[in-house]
Chains A and B, each alone.
Chain A
Amino acid sequence: MAERSFAQEVQELRLGDGDEFRGEGILAVTKALLQSGVAYVGGYQGAPISHLMDVLGDAQDILGELGVYFENSASEATAGAMLAASVHYPLRGAVTFKSTVGFNVASDALANLASGGVVGGAMVIIGEDYGEGASIMQERTHAFAMKSQMWLLDPRPNLTAIVDMVEKGFELSEASNTPVILELRLRSCHLHGTFTAKDNKRPTMTVSEAVSNPRRDLSRIVLPPASFLHEQEKVTKRWPAAVKFITENGLNEFVNDGAQDIGIILQGGLFNNVNRALELCGVSDAFGNSEIPLYVMNVTYPVIDEEVVRFCESKRAVLLVEEGQPDFIEQNIQAVLRRNNATAILHGKDLLPVAGEYTPAAVTKGVHAFLHKYVPAMVEGTPVVTLPHDDPRSPFAPRIASDLVQGRPPGFCTGCPERPIFAALTLAQREVGEHYVSADIGCHLFSINAPFNIGATTMGYGLGSAAASALNGAQADKRAIAFMGDGGFWHNGLTSGVGNAVFNENNQLLVIVDNAYSAATGGQDLLSSSADNPTRSTKHPIENAVRGVGVKWARTMTNTFKVAEMRDLFKEALTTKEKGPKVIVAQSECTLNRMRREKPAKAAAITSGQRVVNERYGIDPETCTGDHSCIRISGCPSLTITDNPDPMRKDPIATTLSSCVGCGLCGENAHAAALCPSFYRAQVVINPTWWDRFATAIRSRYIQFLQRGVERRLAGIEPIG
């Protein structure tokens, strides 16, 4: 079950004509899909569109009522291929994933889809993981749109605009027989806002009707000679059809055109930031009434030549605000202007940053420079963000010593079962030496940071093993270690990694981190999940799968918190003479999910008077010497430091916070690393039985009797009272 439940919110999906929808961007998109009469939906979770999958998962009864088919795709390639249902049938379909990583995986399927074209509207909704908070390499989705010829929709970050674009996007797709991409920027996905709802529409044809009535059309299948015809059709038929639809429906917007002899062209997704920049320069207001003409490209591919020429025709200069690099749109528009002998000067990456996120600060600087150059009289005041850093009014004027603020990258949660895996590997490497470690995508990638500092590369989801495949020296006295999560394993790692290693007799050690969920993306279920899922098939063990493709040395460790055992298992796997890949499935449930399940159950048990044992760990301040070696092999957020209560000692001692969930790692580490005797585990029995109370009374009496003797000696040493 996913980390966040949308059971409440999905009721918004039932809103009808004229109702006001209030909620997050993701939920609005789902509503828009239903309003568009979508017949099938699929996708692969990943920030920032994980919640779209979660919303759909929680809305299965509503989808069922409307006859909409929903699938949790095994990968983005699966999701992309799923759109094949719109090739021959007038079925509207949508799939969703994270970009650009999802596009990398899906592009084989999507290239084929885009070649033959579609008759039913096909939409790829992508969460653009770009800029602050992104967890992937920074690239543009634009390139995929161009190479496969899929139209790229980049609506204004406003729920009404996004919802309209979903509906128009399907129409555009059908009008031009071309799949479309709806680009949702990172913050748009989690944007809270409102729009006026419409009734949901049942699909004109359902997938059941489609599959019962098979269709085929040879001209749509990608094989010569059809594939050569597709290439021609793209430019002679589909492109003009798209241009016609976009122009006629006014998908791109002209704001206050003609008011000035300069203007700004912008991607729709950047509208709010650009308007804020114009506001700060005194030439627009909070309602978007810009005094500077704007051409808002809510469709960023294709560029509509005629609209661009019209906008630039009577202008001295135009600023293009295009985020990311390469500057595909700038190159495109330059060519359009040149071909049409337009005289307007086009500014873009000369005034704005060449690379990186177009934050309000970045856009304000660029827009201010542009306005200052051409219409200085219009600019009202100076936005402080444009001031040089040595100006005391600048928000970046030095006001704080840089060493007072340290980086705080994401890391393993309190109680995370992946932390002990890396603690154990750290201890194993102390004995058998440092090894090359190939990391993968997932929470386990946090190992690359302090305190573990483990992992050298990450080549893509599920590619941890494949990325270690070359490092397989026959003469080497060490073997490479690869990590992979259960998510990556089922995504492709089973074939790209494990199968590959078996076939090529690779000697690597592969550690598969199995926390029972696709945890990093929000705790979605997958094939090996231990949970019962009413609509999905789970509980397929990873070890069975790896043995199935020929792994001989495979071990499943069902409790990663047994650090000493994990350490010994690592040592064995790194030294065994067995040929071929060694696979360790390190299995413990994601603690976020476990807590979400167990906490309410525990609270209910306490209220109903049942015996409940609460555990937490603690550290004795008298015996902790403040060396912090326990923190250096853990890094747990709940294991921290505090002032030393001992007046003679200076260094802070280790301490556990009340957020400790009693996972047990501190104790296990203390044992496995022979650390220090300061750790203890406190068990509090709530609602104790009569036996608990009786036994405790006896013990306390005995203990207190002995303690009295000790205290008598100390009474002569310590002051009285």
Chain B
Amino acid sequence: MTALSERPTSVRIRPITMAILAMGGEGGGVLSDWIVALAEDNDWFAQSTSVPGVAQRTGATVYYVELFPKVLDGTRLPEPILSTMPTPGEVDIVVASELMEAGRAVQRGFATPQRTTLIASTSRTYSMPERTAMGDGRVDSEGLVEACLGSSRRFVRGDFSRVAEESRSVISAVLFGAICGAEVLPFSREQFEAAVRASAKGVEESLKAFDGGYRAATAPPQVALTIGVRPADASGPDNAEVERAITDPVSCVGPRLRAQTERIRDFPAPARYMLVEGIKRTAEYQDVRYADEYLDRVASIAALEQYGDGSARLTSEAARYTALWMTYEDTIRVAFHKTRGRRMRRVGEEANLSDGQVLAVHEYLHPQMEEITDTLPTPLGRWMLRSRFMNTIVYKVTHKGIKIQTTSLFGFTVLYVLARLRPLRRRSLRFGLEQRRIDDWLAQVRTYAPRNYDLAYQIVECQQVVKGYGETHANGMRNFTALMDAVPRIADDPRAAERLANLRTAALADEKGEALRAALASASMQ
């Protein structure tokens, strides 16, 4: 059971070596203190070390523990010389609070297939580059899990972060339980729990968390395989939902969209799920007629599948991005979502609202002149934009931002009335503009699809660079326009689709559009 008894090399006793990888503030110190107390209370020598100070503020850090018996076969042993740092290839137990940190243990040679029991949470705490990417910059969790499997004798894992959250405790207690459950230390569960009980506070929560970790570690491996490799909300569309949209789209929508669902049956099967979502989205956003207009647009693309490879990916993605664009973010949409009942319930859940407590929700809104004129009828909007007087007034009111309490009578009424302006939207300045832009974009797709299906597909994908509000949206739109302008210039190149995809990647590389400008400059030189 212990690393000691399995040491084949020599008669010499070597310590049990243990590295704990955590981020500053996660309680790695508490965990190593528990391990030290556990060992010392049960007649073992223990030495723990860590890297102190500012290096720990939220950064990756390693705690290192060595354990050595005080008594062996009835003989009392002298005090051993223990190392203050892990030696790559010589670590018996590696504990990681997070999956990328487990990956780091592999990279640093602490976790090795010959020796190591790796105990890690499969939860992710995303790194700065993953979080600041303009699109999806997350690394592949599956790849990390595979590397951990290939770099350990045994990989004990579970979503320990969730267990901690559920027991209202910290991850260190869950990990301590997992170490116990993994049976890598020569101590009993009672002895482990005694160490937790001896700590000053939160004993009950810690023991609950400990139990969660213990159970995750002792669960049959196939269960452990699926626990939390991805967060639960990671599913994307569930296969059954997709299947239902193909075979029985009517059951996916309300009664007023029945006619539209009938139309969806004429589309290629792989695109139907997106189309069902698209009609709901557009109808909710504006009205049922809008959903029909949506289907008209996508139908004009579906007709191009004859030039395709049978995957219908052009139609699927056009169904996605056309719906997203048609339901562009404006004040009315924001007000609509902020006032919905299900949103209030979700906010309460996230804030751990319990019975007998009271919730207040405050919004941070920053309407700018354009966003206000966007929702007004076109002539009024145009006038306001031109009027210096109105500009001054609007600036005065909004430039510091507006805070609204949605849960107050006044605040809710304001947002509710805004949301009810929906019928005005069709006559607004922005609506006209966006419809023209959508039609121009789809016209490009139709132009190029007959000679280069892949290029047409990439043109559709370019819509994803348009995101956000205010300046972020303006930057995205500028990038999108630049991409569309580039299409005719590269269209004759047999590698046009690939080149456009690269340009799109460049557009998502930085906020200021520098990478895109550079890419376009080099592209136009060719």
A and B associate in one complex: yes
A interface with B by C-beta (< 8 Å) = 22, 46-48, 50-51, 129, 132-135, 157-158, 185-193, 271-273, 275-276, 279-280, 282, 285-288, 359-361, 364, 380-381, 383-385, 393-396, 399-414, 443, 446, 449-451, 520-522, 564, 614, 616, 618, 620, 622-623, 625-629, 631-632, 635, 637, 639-643, 645, 647-652, 658, 666-667, 670-677, 679-686, 688, 692-693, 696, 698-699, 702-704, 706-707, 710-711, 714-720
Residue of B whose beta carbon sits closest to that of A405: B103
Q: Mark B1-32, 1 if CB is under 8 A from A, else 0.
A: 00000000110111100000001110000000
Asked if B81 is at the interface of the complex by the 8 Å CB criterion, the answer is yes
Query: Do residues B343 and A629 form an inter-chain contact, with CB atoms below 8 A?
Result: no
Bound form: Cα–Cα A698–B409 in Å? 9
Given contacts A620-B343, A651-B464, contact A406 B412 (CB under 8 A): no
Asked if B58 is at the interface of the complex by the 8 Å CB criterion, the answer is yes
Given contacts A623-B337, A702-B409, contact A648 B84 (CB under 8 A): no
Query: Do residues B12 and A620 form an inter-chain contact, with CB atoms below 8 A?
Result: no
Bound form: Cα–Cα A685–B354 in Å? 10
Query: Do residues A650 and B52 form an inter-chain contact, with CB atoms below 8 A?
Result: no
Asked if B511 is at the interface of the complex by the 8 Å CB criterion, the answer is yes
Q: Which residues of the other chain, B, contact A677 by a CB distance below 8 angstroms?
A: 334, 338, 363-366, 469
Q: Which residues of the other chain, A, contact B391 by a CB distance below 8 angstroms?
A: none
Bound form: Cα–Cα A650–B316 in Å? 13
Given contacts A405-B103, A410-B59, contact A641 B131 (CB under 8 A): yes
Query: Do residues B133 and A628 form an inter-chain contact, with CB atoms below 8 A?
Result: yes
Q: Which of B80, B144, B360, B511 has the most CB of A within 10 A?
A: B360
Query: Do residues B54 and A671 form an inter-chain contact, with CB atoms below 8 A?
Result: no
Query: Do residues B103 and A400 form an inter-chain contact, with CB atoms below 8 A?
Result: yes
Query: Do residues A625 and B329 form an inter-chain contact, with CB atoms below 8 A?
Result: yes
Which among B134, B150, B255, B361 is the interface contact of A680 at CB below 8 angstroms? B361
Q: Mark B388-405, 1 if CB is under 8 A from A, else 0.
A: 000000000000110100
Q: Which residues of the other chain, A, contact B494 by a CB distance below 8 angstroms?
A: none
Query: Do residues A404 and B53 form an inter-chain contact, with CB atoms below 8 A?
Result: no
Given contacts A410-B56, A643-B233, A680-B347, contact A287 B81 (CB under 8 A): yes
Which among B24, B46, B77, B358 is the interface contact of A693 at CB below 8 angstroms? B358
Bound form: Cα–Cα A696–B409 in Å? 10
Q: Which residues of the other chain, B, contact A670 by a CB distance below 8 angstroms?
A: 364, 366, 401
Q: Which residues of the other chain, A, contact B109 by a CB distance below 8 angstroms?
A: 361, 385, 394-396
Given contacts A404-B103, A618-B351, contact A651 B253 (CB under 8 A): no
Query: Do residues A384 and B59 form an inter-chain contact, with CB atoms below 8 A?
Result: no
Q: Which residues of the other chain, A, contact B403 by a CB distance below 8 angstroms?
A: 667
Q: Which residues of the other chain, B, contact A411 by a CB distance below 8 angstroms?
A: 57-59, 128
Query: Do residues A704 and B51 form an inter-chain contact, with CB atoms below 8 A?
Result: no
Residue of B whose beta carbon sits closest to that of A8: B200
Q: Mark B113-128, 1 if CB is under 8 A from A, else 0.
A: 1100000000001111
CB proximity of B426 to chain A, nearest CB, Å = 16
Query: Do residues B54 and A640 form an inter-chain contact, with CB atoms below 8 A?
Result: no
Given contacts A286-B82, A616-B351, A650-B464, list 5 more A-B pairs with CB under 8 A: A132-B62, A186-B51, A286-B12, A384-B89, A682-B348
Query: Do residues B135 and A651 form an inter-chain contact, with CB atoms below 8 A?
Result: yes
Asked if B284 is at the interface of the complex by the 8 Å CB criterion, the answer is yes
CB proximity of B136 to chain A, nearest CB, Å = 5
Asked if B416 is at the interface of the complex by the 8 Å CB criterion, the answer is yes
CB proximity of A424 to chain B, nearest CB, Å = 14
Query: Do residues B112 and A405 form an inter-chain contact, with CB atoms below 8 A?
Result: no
Q: Mark B405-439, 1 if CB is under 8 A from A, else 0.
A: 01111001000100100000000000000000000
B interface with A by C-beta (< 8 Å) = 9-10, 12-15, 23-25, 36, 40, 46-62, 68, 77-90, 100-101, 103-104, 106-107, 109-110, 112-114, 125-136, 138-140, 143-144, 147, 150-151, 165, 230-231, 233-237, 241, 251-257, 273-274, 277-278, 280-281, 283-284, 288, 320, 323-324, 329, 333-334, 336-341, 343-344, 347-348, 350-353, 356-366, 368, 400-401, 403, 406-409, 412, 416, 419, 464, 467-472, 476, 511
CB proximity of A390 to chain B, nearest CB, Å = 14
Bound form: Cα–Cα A192–B358 in Å? 47
Q: Which residues of the other chain, A, contact B83 by a CB distance below 8 angstroms?
A: 272-273, 276, 360
Given contacts A276-B87, A411-B128, A641-B130, contact A692 B358 (CB under 8 A): yes
Query: Do residues A50 and B57 form an inter-chain contact, with CB atoms below 8 A?
Result: no
CB proximity of B69 to chain A, nearest CB, Å = 10
Given contacts A47-B52, A450-B129, A618-B347, contact A286 B81 (CB under 8 A): yes
Bound form: Cα–Cα A720–B258 in Å? 13
CB proximity of B414 to chain A, nearest CB, Å = 12
Query: Do residues A399 and B147 form an inter-chain contact, with CB atoms below 8 A?
Result: yes
User: What are the 5 tightest A-B residue pairs by CB atom distance, in nearest-first order?
Assistant: A47-B53, A133-B51, A395-B109, A671-B401, A410-B59
Q: Which residues of the other chain, A, contact B103 by a CB distance below 8 angstroms?
A: 400, 404-405
Bound form: Cα–Cα A186–B61 in Å? 14
Which among B36, B81, B257 is the interface contact of A192 at CB below 8 angstroms? B36
Q: Which residues of the other chain, B, contact A643 by a CB distance below 8 angstroms?
A: 230-231, 233-236
Query: Do residues A627 and B134 form an inter-chain contact, with CB atoms below 8 A?
Result: yes
Residue of A whose beta carbon sits closest to that of B235: A643
Q: Which residues of the other chain, B, contact A716 by a CB distance below 8 angstroms?
A: 254-257
Given contacts A272-B84, A648-B324, contact A286 B68 (CB under 8 A): yes
Bound form: Cα–Cα A402–B107 in Å? 8
Query: Do residues B343 and A359 form an inter-chain contact, with CB atoms below 8 A?
Result: no
Query: Do residues A51 and B467 form an inter-chain contact, with CB atoms below 8 A?
Result: no
Bound form: Cα–Cα A692–B359 in Å? 10
Q: Which residues of the other chain, B, contact A285 by a CB distance below 8 angstroms?
A: 12-13
Query: Do residues B126 and A404 form an inter-chain contact, with CB atoms below 8 A?
Result: no
Given contacts A190-B50, A680-B364, contact A699 B412 (CB under 8 A): yes
16 A-B Cβ contacts within 8 A?
A187-B50, A187-B84, A286-B81, A402-B107, A410-B59, A520-B57, A623-B333, A640-B125, A648-B323, A651-B135, A679-B364, A683-B360, A685-B357, A688-B357, A710-B419, A718-B284
Q: Which residues of the other chain, B, contact A674 by a CB distance below 8 angstroms?
A: 366, 368, 401, 469-471
Q: Which residues of the other chain, A, contact B277 by a CB distance below 8 angstroms?
A: 647-648
Bound form: Cα–Cα A681–B401 in Å? 14
Query: Do residues A193 and B47 form an inter-chain contact, with CB atoms below 8 A?
Result: yes
CB proximity of A31 to chain B, nearest CB, Å = 18
Given contacts A628-B133, A640-B131, A693-B358, contact A711 B106 (CB under 8 A): no
Query: Do residues B254 and A717 form an inter-chain contact, with CB atoms below 8 A?
Result: yes
Which among A640, A683, A706 is the interface contact of B416 at CB below 8 angstroms? A706
Q: Which residues of the other chain, B, contact A645 by a CB distance below 8 angstroms?
A: 233
CB proximity of A695 to chain B, nearest CB, Å = 8
Query: Do residues A682 and B60 form an inter-chain contact, with CB atoms below 8 A?
Result: no
Query: Do residues B49 and A627 form an inter-chain contact, with CB atoms below 8 A?
Result: no
Bound form: Cα–Cα A401–B202 in Å? 40
Which among B101, B133, B143, B278 is the interface contact of A648 at CB below 8 angstroms? B278
Residue of B whose beta carbon sits closest to that of A393: B114
Given contacts A192-B48, A564-B400, A677-B364, contact A614 B351 (CB under 8 A): yes
Q: Which residues of the other chain, B, contact A641 by a CB distance below 8 angstroms?
A: 126, 130-131, 138
Residue of A whose beta carbon sits closest to that of B98: A408
Query: Do residues B476 and A187 form an inter-chain contact, with CB atoms below 8 A?
Result: no
Q: Which residues of the other chain, B, contact A409 by a CB distance below 8 angstroms?
A: 59
Query: Do residues A189 and B356 form an inter-chain contact, with CB atoms below 8 A?
Result: no
Query: Do residues B407 and A649 form an inter-chain contact, with CB atoms below 8 A?
Result: no
Query: Do residues A48 and B52 form an inter-chain contact, with CB atoms below 8 A?
Result: yes
Residue of B whose beta carbon sits closest to that of A406: B127
Query: Do residues A133 and B52 form an inter-chain contact, with CB atoms below 8 A?
Result: yes
Which among B84, B140, B150 is the interface contact of A273 at CB below 8 angstroms? B84
Q: Which of A381, A641, A642 has the most CB of B within 10 A?
A: A641
Bound form: Cα–Cα A635–B133 in Å? 12
Residue of A whose beta carbon sits closest to that of B417: A706
Q: Which residues of the other chain, B, contact A715 by a CB distance below 8 angstroms?
A: 254
Which among A135, A157, A279, A627 is the interface contact of B53 at CB below 8 angstroms? A135
Bound form: Cα–Cα A710–B334 in Å? 14
Residue of B whose beta carbon sits closest to that of A129: B53
Bound form: Cα–Cα A717–B419 in Å? 17
CB proximity of A209 to chain B, nearest CB, Å = 37
